[in-house]
Amino acid sequence: MTVGPGVGIGTARADAESDASVIARSRDEPEVFAVLFDRHADAVHRYAARRLGGEVADDLVAETFTTAFQQRHRYDPARGAGADARPWLFGIA
């Protein structure tokens, strides 16, 4: 799900967008959700590894982002940190 430089999804635009905006845009452009993975996969992995160990963390990161993608319509930027999706992702993890 990693998106590298030069990929045609508006990488520069996505870098400047808030997480809430990326999630909203991903409803019509699902490939844009990869921006959240690029931004937060390492943090989710560290969170999981501290609690469960490194071996389990890889699988949990994949499952977390799969669930987040499937449930992105339920993301509420008005709750918690708003524009930062990390608390939402940690909750899913």
Q: How far is CA 5 from the centre of its chain?
A: 18
The domain ranges of the chain are 11-92
Q: Residue 3 — very low, low, confident or very high, per pLDDT cuts 50/70/90?
A: very low
| Per-residue pLDDT at 16 | 74
| Per-residue pLDDT at 28 | 96
Round to whole Å and give the CA distance between 15 and 35: 8
* 17-28 average pLDDT score: 93
CATH of the domain spanning 11-92, picked from 1.10.1740.10, 3.90.25.10, 3.90.550.10, 1.10.3720.10:
1.10.1740.10
pLDDT tens-digit map of 25-83: 999 999 999 999 999 999 999 999 999 998 899 999 999 999 999 999 999 887 755 57
Tokens of 6: 């030069």
